[in-house]
Amino acid sequence: MHKNIKNSCVNDFDPSALDEITAVKQILKSIKTIKKIETINIMDSLGRIASKNIKSSINIPSFRNSAMDGYALNIKNLEKNKYSLKEQGISLAGQAYDKKLKDKETIRVMTGAVIPNNADAVIMKEMVDIEGDIILFPNFIQKNQNIRNIGEDIKKGDIVIKKGRQINYVDLGILSSLGIGKIDVFRKPIISFFSTGDELISINKKLKKGLIYDSNRYLLFGLLSELPVQIKDMGVVKDNEEILVKKLKQCAKVSDIIITTGGVSVGDADYIKSALKKVGKVNFWKIAIKPGRPLAYGKINNASFFGLPGNPVSAAVTFQIFIIPAIKKMFQMIASSKLTIKAQVKSALSKKKGRVEYKRGLLEQKDGVNTVNTTGLQGSNILSSLSKANCYIRLSSETEKIKKGDTVEVIPFNINL
């Protein structure tokens, strides 16, 4: 945090709060994987999760071809100290020259075109001299130079897409190159969410003193929209335990995951925890992190429940730390650690010992050196500092003081699975 800016939000450490790693492990242990499979066209598969390994039934390339425009030859046909051959034909992409090279012959080839079976080198056209139909070659030629061999990209039987992989644009290219038009993917989990709080009003209404616009639903919608899930926006629910119980039951009937924001602290009007106890089970509800300490996790029948804090930054951080791994577990995705890098901090930082802290930061690189600085006020209600950030500065539970110039752990933003 900048020295001249003080954080107005003081979040004392609670020794009874669950540590971040243990909380994630407990969540993953209780998450059930998706079993239902859908077969879809590859044009509809971007971002979806493969439900099984996909193997190649052919070699790529399936024939030997030229890596560039030039001339195909057999090195043995070159006479010692005489690097010239007669051009006898041309091989175009899609129109192959199907004869073998004879003694003292070469053919012109285009990029991607079939080369003769007995050709063992292709010389790029810029490297030769042409005298009529005689091609003069350089005196240093390597075997297999500029030749794409059968199966050098993908071999028949290779696994090209692993179960649990999220399909990206490169995968679409690979699948289509193999002639695969449909793939099996896991169905999208249904995620319902709603905000809680008497102070929340719709964005199309006039703001009165003591009220705030409901930004968390839009924040969650944005986070969820980048994931392969079905979204059910259940609106805003007042701070009333009876109404909350009814809404939770309604969501549990149709959802794999239920997410709420607000109502998980210890205030007189915070009813999420008590409502959850009436309809399901509370696994835990306090985490030793900042921002995001008041987080509730539990189960309602087969649905997993996440009660996120009401402050928007806390909601975003806890979504990324706890809900993203849960969704990955549902898809049986291959576990991977977050990408972290080391950077020198531009200003002194401090925190309370005993909890992990995620500060919003701006990561930059100059002359090969990574530097990072916080983006202003770090209160859990300050969305503007999250908007200016491109990373989190993660400070471990044992850290208290960080000096200017010290090395810190940085997690670049990336909410994709």
Rounded to the nearest 5°, which phi and psi values hold at 162?
A: -90, 150
- Convert the pLDDT of each residue in 352-385 to its tens digit: 888 999 999 999 999 999 999 999 899 988 999 9
Nearest CA to 110 out of 75, 57, 70 is that of: 70
Find the range with the poorest average confidence among 70-84, 197-211, 385-399: 197-211
Question: pTM of this prediction?
Answer: 0.86
- Convert the pLDDT of each residue in 98-148 to its tens digit: 899 998 899 999 999 999 999 999 999 999 999 999 999 998 899 999 999
Rounded to the nearest 5°, which phi and psi values hold at 306?
A: -125, 115
Mean pLDDT on 65-81: 90
Mean pLDDT of all residues belonging to the chain:
91
Higher pLDDT, 257 or 292: 257
Higher pLDDT, 333 or 71: 71
- Convert the pLDDT of each residue in 1-45 to its tens digit: 344 444 444 445 566 789 999 999 999 999 999 999 999 999 999
- Convert the pLDDT of each residue in 348-359 to its tens digit: 999 988 899 999
- Convert the pLDDT of each residue in 198-213 to its tens digit: 787 777 878 888 878 7
* Beta pairing class for 356-366 and 391-395: antiparallel
Report the alpha-carbon distance of residue 99 to residue 26 in Å, rounded: 66
- Convert the pLDDT of each residue in 213-238 to its tens digit: 788 899 999 999 999 999 999 998 98
Q: Which domains does the chain have, with CATH numbers?
A: 20-37+188-330 (3.40.980.10), 38-60+155-186 (3.90.105.10), 65-148 (2.170.190.11), 341-412 (2.40.340.10)
**Contacts for 31-37 with beta carbons within 8 Å, 24 or more apart?**
31/304, 31/326, 31/329, 31/330, 32/302, 32/330, 33/329, 33/330, 33/331, 33/332, 34/186, 34/187, 34/189, 34/256, 34/330, 34/331, 34/332, 36/186, 36/187, 37/184, 37/185, 37/186, 37/187
- Convert the pLDDT of each residue in 321-339 to its tens digit: 999 999 999 999 876 667 8
